[in-house]
Structures are given as structure tokens and as C-alpha cells.
Amino acid sequence: MVSGAKMKLAEEVLKIVTDQSYQKKPLIAGVKIVELKRHLAEDGAFAEIVRFERGKIVAPEEFRGFVVAQVNHSLMVPGTVKAWHLHQLQDEIWFVHPSACLIAGLLDVRTGSKTKNLTMRLSLGGGRACLLYIPCGVAHGLSNPYFGNATMTYLVSRHFDGSDEKRLPFDFGVNKDFWEIKKG
């Protein structure tokens, strides 16, 4: 076989084969995903998550001015789906430690948004150090379909008092398998 020559596939395969897409998926308006610099060394790794001046985030630059009212920590046991959560007043910034892995889901339910009803699904952690910004009005949730516990830390723009905690059914606007590991 000559290198670079196109291989002919079997007829039964041609009937069911699909192309894998690597195109960048659209973002919900206002959502930000910021990759953090992770410094690896023989003795471990280091990543600066956020830098503050007088309670306001100054770095990463994409979150400059975000006023942190509270920092929270959440543990998710295997098989857990925490969705959909929704806030009308609170913005959030999520960080999943690179040694953990969680599936995050976002759904734009804001009236008048140019991305209304758009969903996003992404893996957080899994060796990556990144921050995910979720503006108010965007429903959000997490799934841990893996075998071990996973934790996340998140910053919020309002103190928790229960008044801005809204819920939607976990399968609202998505298929029930949205929160599961995709096969194939």
C-alpha cells in the first residue's frame, strides 16, 4: 500500500460510518472558558487560579472586576448528577481540579438572549486547569459518571441565603443521556 492512498472501506461499514467533528462548538453568550497556566515539575504541579485586589478578581484578565462574595467547595460521589441549577442574580466561576473529571452542562434559558436554548457540554478537570464563568440566567449542572469522588471549587457573586436557588429537571432541554459518558 502506498502511503497517503485512500483505503476503501467495506460496504457494511460505509452504511454506518460517520465523520468525527473537531470544529469548535458555539459558546453560550457570556460564558467564558479560560485555560490556566499549569507549571509541571518533577515534584508536582502549580497553577494560580485567581488573583485578587480588595475582593475583586484582577487575574485572569477575563474575570477582572468580578466581585467574589463567597467561595464554595462541592464533593460529588460517583453516579451523581447535580442539574439543573439556575440563578437570576448570581454569577459563578467554577474550577475542577485537574486530577478530577466532571461533565459540565450549560443551558441558556434567558429571554432575549441570542443563544437562548443553546446547550453546552464539556469535560472539566481531566488534566486541564481551567475556569468556567457562568452568567446568571444560564442553567448549569455537573455529572460524575466516573468511579471516584470528584470535587470542585466555585466562586459566586452573592452570599448564599436560598432566595436565588432555582431548579429545573435534570433532563430539561436535553436527552437523559446528556449527563453520561458518550460512547464511540
DSSP, collapsed to helix, strand or coil, labels residue 62 as helix
Distance CA 126, CA 115 (A): 27
Give me the mean pLDDT over the 137-152 stretch: 96
Domain ranges of the chain: 25-36+69-171
Greater model confidence, 184 or 28: 28
Cell of 87: 440563578
Instruction: Kindly state the percentage of the chain with pLDDT values over 90.
Output: 80
In this predicted structure, what is the pLDDT of residue 54?
Answer: 86
Greater model confidence, 16 or 167: 167
Q: Is 128 left (phi over 0), alpha (psi -120 to 50) or beta?
A: beta
Instruction: Enter the pTM of the model.
Output: 0.88
Give me the mean pLDDT over the 2-17 stretch: 79
Give me the mean pLDDT over the 64-76 stretch: 94
Handedness of CA 98, 99, 101, 107 (dihedral sign): negative
**Cβ(36)–Cβ(57) below 8 Å:** no
Confidence of residue 96 (pLDDT cuts 50, 70, 90): very high
In this predicted structure, what is the pLDDT of residue 2?
Answer: 59
Superfamily of domain 25-36+69-171: Jelly Rolls (2.60.120.10)
Residue 12 has pLDDT above 90, yes or no: no
Helix, strand, coil percentages for the chain (3-state, nearest 5): 5, 40, 55
Cell of 168: 429545573
